[in-house]
Amino acid sequence: MTEPVFKQIAIIGAGLIGASIARAAMEYGVAESVSLYDADADVRRRAEAIGLGDVADTLAAAARTADCVFLCVPVGALSDVAAETVPAMKAGAILTDVGSVKGQASSALAAADDGRVHIIPGHPIAGTEQSGPEAGFASLFRNAWHILTPREGGDEAYAEAVSQLEAFWRGLGAKVETMDAARHDRVLAITSHLPHLIAFNIVSTAFDMETVEQGEVVKYSAGGFRDFTRIAASDPVMWRDVFLTNKDAVLECLGRFSEDLAALQRAIRWGDGDTLFKEFSRARSIRKAIIDAGQDSGAVNFGRNQAADAPEGDGDETD
Amino acid sequence: MTEPVFKQIAIIGAGLIGASIARAAMEYGVAESVSLYDADADVRRRAEAIGLGDVADTLAAAARTADCVFLCVPVGALSDVAAETVPAMKAGAILTDVGSVKGQASSALAAADDGRVHIIPGHPIAGTEQSGPEAGFASLFRNAWHILTPREGGDEAYAEAVSQLEAFWRGLGAKVETMDAARHDRVLAITSHLPHLIAFNIVSTAFDMETVEQGEVVKYSAGGFRDFTRIAASDPVMWRDVFLTNKDAVLECLGRFSEDLAALQRAIRWGDGDTLFKEFSRARSIRKAIIDAGQDSGAVNFGRNQAADAPEGDGDETD
C-alpha cells in the first residue's frame, strides 16, 4: 500500500476521467477520501449509487476541505467552474484539471487564481470512447502519460505542490511529464486531435454514401472502418471544445493532412504505383518504430527517402 | 471433427492469408492435405520450416492434384499467376482467390479460364497488419465475413462447386455471403480501402510536422494516433494494387471524404460549435449501431489478436 499523497481529493465532474481518478485514488490508496460533485443531479445520483465517493450537493461542499481539486469538465466549461471552485478551496490546496487543450485550460484556471491556491494544469493521455460515471475504472491511467503544465517561476511551495501532484499521478500508475502548454497543444493536435477529427469525418462520409447501404457499412466494418468508429464514439461535447480551443494547431495539421492526401489522390488517379508503394512503406516503418520504441523513445527519424529501404511485402493480403 | 470438404487444397502465395488458410484447413479438418507454393524461395523455405504443408518446388506441382486452388497473391499479380495455374489444374477442380478488389480479380481469373475448372473469386474480410508465412494463424477467419463473387448463369456442376467452397469457408469459421464483384468493390472502397488510405496518410503527415518532434509523436501516440499506425502497417504491395485496381470507387469515396472534411475545417475556423457537436454526435450514434449489430465481438478483428502488437488495452486512446 502506498502512503496516501493527499488526505482528501475532490472530483468536480463525474464523467469517465473523474470517475476513474476517484476509483484509482481509493483502490491504489493514493488518497484517504474522495469527495465528488457534478452539475448534473442525475450524474450525482448515479455516482452515489455506484459508490464513487462522498457525493456533495454543491461544488463548494465538495471542494471545501480537499487538499487537491480535480476539475474534470470539458475545456469549454473550465472558466466558469474554476471561478466557482477557487473561492471555496482552502488556502494552500492544489487546483488541477484534465483538459485536452492546455493553452485554454491554463488561461481559464489562471483567471480564477486568487493567490491562495496552487494552480497546476494537467492532462492524462488516456481514455476510452465511453462516457459517464459508470465508465470509470481504476486502471485507466496505468502506463499512460500524464502531462503537467505548471507555470514558470513558482516559489518553493508551488514546486512542492507540483511534486505532490506528480506523486499522486505516479501513484495511479501514470508516467508524468512536464512541458509548456503551447508545446502540449502542438503535440496533441497531431497525435490526438487530428486523428479524432479524421475518424469523426470518415464515419459521417461512410454513412452518406448513396451507392452503399448503411447496413453494408456496418456488416463489413471489420475491413478497417470499425477501428475509426471506435475513436469516433468519443464524447461530442469534449471534442467540440477541443477543436474550438486548439484551433490554430489543428488547422495547421489539417492543412498538411489535406495536402498529403491530395498527393495520394493524384497518384491513384494517374496510376502512380511507385509513389503509393513508397508512401505506404514509409507508414509501415513508422509503425515498426512505435512498437520497437515501446512508445518511450525519442530516437526515431523518418525521412522521406527512407521509404525505399522498407522491406518488400511477402505478397499477402491484409483484408 | 468436420468431414473434410476437399481431399487436397493448394495454396499459391504463403503470406498471412495463405498461411492462415493452410493452418485453419488442417486444424479444423476441412481439407485432408495442403500443398503450398510461393514464388519466393525464401518464403517456401520458411513455410516448410514451420510446417505449413507440403511445400512444392513449382506452382504446377502444388496445383496438379488439388481439388481447390487458392491464389493468395496481390491483386496485381493475379493475371500472371492464374494463367500459370489453370493449365496445371485437374479438370473439375475449383480455382479461387482472396484478392481485395473483385472486379480486377474476376477479370484476371476469367482470362485464364480454359473451361475445365470452376472459377469462383472470393475475399475474406479478415487480416492483421502482419505479413509473411509466420503471421498465419488458424482462427483468423472465425466470425469474419467471406464474400464470394461467382459468375452468373453457371451450370449445375458450377453451383455444386460454389456450395463446396462455401462449405469450406464455413468450416474455417467464416460467415459466407455472395454478391456481384462491382458491388463488393463499392462496399469495400468505403469500409476498407478509404480507411487504409487515410491511415497511411495521417502517419506520413504526423512524421513530416516540423513543429513537433517525431519522438513526441511516438511517445504520445496513445492519444488516438496509434490506432492509425496499426492499420497503416499493412502490406504496401497489396495496398498499392488495391488502389490501382479499385480506382473509381476509391476516388469517389475520397472526394466525398475531402468535401466533408472541408466542412469540418470551416466549422473549426469559424468557431461553429453547433456544427461540430452535431457531426460528432452523429458519428457516435453510428458506432452504437455497429456495436448493437454485434459487429464488434473482437473474435476476428483487425490486428487485435496479434500478440506482437503494441502493449495497449482494449479501451484506450480517446484523448
Q: Is the pLDDT at B202 greater than 90, yes or no?
A: yes
* Chain B residues within an 8 Å CB radius of A231: 224, 227, 317-318
Taking the Cβ of residue B145 and every Cβ of chain A, the question of whether any pair is shorter than 8 Å is answered with yes
Residue B222 has its nearest CB partner, among A126, A223, A318, at A126
> Average of pLDDT values for A134-162?
96
- Rounded to the nearest angstrom, the gap between the alpha carbon of residue B133 and the centroid of all alpha carbons in its chain is 15
Q: Which residues pair with B94 in a beta bridge?
A: B68, B118
Q: Which residue of A has its CA nearest to B310?
A: A291
> Average of pLDDT values for A179-208?
94
> Average of pLDDT values for A298-309?
34
Q: Is the pLDDT at B197 greater than 70, yes or no?
A: yes
Taking the Cβ of residue B260 and every Cβ of chain A, the question of whether any pair is shorter than 8 Å is answered with yes
Give contacts of B 18-57 with A, CB under 8 A: 18-19, 38-40, 43
Interatomic CA distance for residues B48 and B54, integer angstroms = 7
Interatomic CA distance for residues A284 and B237, integer angstroms = 11
The pLDDT, as a whole number, for residue A299 is 34
> Average of pLDDT values for B205-211?
85
Task: Tell which residue, B67, B108, B59, has the closest CA to residue B84.
Answer: B59
Pairwise CB contact (< 8 Å): B225 & A143: no
Q: Is the pLDDT at B310 greater than 50, yes or no?
A: no
Q: Is residue A199 a contact partner of residue B280, using CB atoms and an 8 Å limit?
A: no
DSSP code string of chain B: -PPPSEEEEEEES-SHHHHHHHHHHHHTTSEEEEEEE-SSHHHHHHHHHTT-SEE-SSHHHHHTT-SEEEE-S-GGGHHHHHHHHGGGSPTT-EEEE--S-HHHHHHHHHHT--SSSEE--EEES---S--SGGG--GGGGTT-EEEE-PPTT--HHHHHHHHHHHHHHHHTTPEEEE--HHHHHHHHIIIIIHHHHHHHHHHHHHHT-SSS-HHHHHHTGGGTHHHHHHHTTS-HHHHHHHHHHSHHHHHHHHHHHHHHHHHHHHHHHTT-HHHHHHHHHHHHHHHHHHHHTTTT--SS-TTTT-TTS-S--TT----
For the stretch A236-283, pLDDT in tens is 999 999 999 999 999 999 999 999 999 999 999 999 999 999 999 998
C-beta atoms surrounding A26 within 10 Å: 18
C-alpha cell, B28: 479444423
The pLDDT, as a whole number, for residue B164 is 98
Q: What is the mean pLDDT of chain A?
A: 90
The pLDDT, as a whole number, for residue A294 is 62
Count how many Cα atoms sit within 13 Å of the Cα of residue B5 in the half-sphere of its side chain.
Answer: 22
> Average of pLDDT values for A296-313?
34
Q: Is the pLDDT at A230 greater than 80, yes or no?
A: yes
The pLDDT, as a whole number, for residue A229 is 87
Q: What domains does chain B contain, in order, with CATH numbers?
A: 6-179 (3.40.50.720), 183-292 (1.10.3660.10)
Nearest chain B Cα distance for residue A51, angstroms: 22
The pLDDT, as a whole number, for residue A306 is 32
For the stretch B37-67, pLDDT in tens is 999 999 999 999 999 999 999 999 999 999 9
For the stretch B21-34, pLDDT in tens is 999 999 999 999 99
This complex has an ipTM of 0.86
- The bridge status of strand A94-97 relative to strand A68-71 is parallel
Q: In what order do the strands lie in the sheet with B175-178?
A: B122-124, B145-148, B175-178
* Chain A residues within an 8 Å CB radius of B142: none
The model's confidence at residue B209, banded by pLDDT at 50, 70 and 90, is: confident
Q: Which residue has the cell 464515419?
A: A203
The pLDDT, as a whole number, for residue A223 is 85
Taking the Cβ of residue A169 and every Cβ of chain B, the question of whether any pair is shorter than 8 Å is answered with no
What percent of chain B is modeled with pLDDT above 90? 76
The pLDDT, as a whole number, for residue B298 is 37
